[in-house]
Homo-oligomer: A and B are copies of this chain.
């Protein structure tokens, strides 16, 4: 399960991506728009900024804005920035590889092999789905709903 933190991060990033402006947005505004507790969001935005996904401006008229174009920020990057590595076992992680302390022959580790393909498939998609792509899916799904016949007039 995704942590609340990662969920909040995605929400906030999507709000910023949809806004599409070059003017920074206040945390308070983002908090309201995304429904995330302001103080918690502060923390999250800071982490996203330290990961290079956001830029910030301090002082009056400060706030946050995307650090890259929305099509260059991948869903996987956002999750990884706040939740850490996504791999089901450390020995499958690309960004934070670590040997499992409990298995001696990694090459033949059943758990690793059982999860490997599933993880790779999921990762491939998370690493090529951008915020922009997500916005498009949102627009489409909205159209779909709107295009559905209204029987209950």
Q: CB within 8 Å of B: which residues of A?
A: 1-2, 7, 10-11, 14, 35, 75, 85, 87-90, 102, 107-111, 113-115, 117-119, 121-126, 129, 134-135, 137-138, 141-142, 144-145
Residues on B with beta carbons closer than 8 Å to the beta carbon of A119: 122
| A129 CB to nearest chain B CB (Å) | 6
Does the CB pair B126–A118 fall under 8 Å? Answer: yes
CA distance A125 to B138 in the complex (A): 26
Task: Give how many copies assemble into the complex.
Answer: 2
The 3 residue pairs across chains A and B that have the minimum distance between CB atoms: A122-B122, A118-B125, A121-B121
| A140 CB to nearest chain B CB (Å) | 9
